[in-house]
Amino acid sequence: VPDLQGPRYVGPAPNGGFVVSEECGDVKVFMSSHKLLCSLSSKYGHQFGNPAGVCVDRDGSILVADEQRRTVHLFPEHGAPVCLVSTGLRRPAGMACSSFGHLFVADTGENCVKVFKYHVRPP
């Protein structure tokens, strides 16, 4: 997949696609054919500081750790982004979602993995 601006983290997305965070401050979603489906900053009007870890939860929502802003945002397929973690992170990096609603965040600023449980109610 060419023409990425400093790719950092990559993760699988629903339907065989994938998600990539870029150093330039965007997160891109690709289809299984490797064609660009969307840019999260364009689709949601969201401005990232320095997006890092990405993962997709059991509902197909994309979660993104923002290293600069020290947050984790959830981007549902439909609706507005939701800030899941706004405090307690020093330098969030890699992330993973479990099928049980757990979010694992590697916090390189504190040399640990932090575990969060979340549930997003439909709008």
What percentage of the chain carries pLDDT values higher than 90?
Answer: 82
Model confidence over 3-50: pLDDT tens digits? 899 999 999 997 899 999 999 789 999 999 999 999 999 999 999 999
Please indicate, yes or no, if residue 101 is contained in any of the structural domains: yes
In a domain, 32, yes or no: yes
Give the model's pLDDT for residue 120: 74
Q: Which of 66, 118, 119 is nearest to 95 (CA)?
A: 66
Q: Is residue 2 part of a domain?
A: no
Sign of the torsion angle spanned by Cα atoms 65, 66, 67, 69? negative
Summarised one tens digit per residue, pLDDT across range 54-112 is 999 988 999 999 999 999 999 998 889 999 999 999 999 999 999 888 999 999 999 99
122 found inside a domain: no
Instruction: Spell out the alpha helix ranges (H) of 17-116.
Output: 40-44
Check which CATH number belongs to the domain holding 107 and give it.
Answer: 2.120.10.30
Confirm if 113 and 104 have CB atoms less than 8 A apart: yes
61 assigned to some structural domain: yes
Domain contains 123: no
Tell me the pLDDT band of 123, cut-offs 50, 70 and 90.
low
79 occurs within a structural domain: yes
* Domain coverage including residue 72: 7-117
The total of structural domains in the chain comes to: 1
Please state the separation of Cα 1 from the chain's center in Å. Answer: 19
- Quick check: 51 and 25 in contact, CB under 8 A? yes
Q: Is residue 54 part of a domain?
A: yes
pTM above 0.85, yes or no: yes
Nearest-5° Cα angle at 33, 18 to 31? 40
Please give the mean pLDDT across all residues of the chain. 93
Q: What is the pLDDT of residue 95?
A: 96
DSSP assignment letter at 16: G
Say how many C-beta atoms besides its own lie within 10 A of residue 4's C-beta: 17
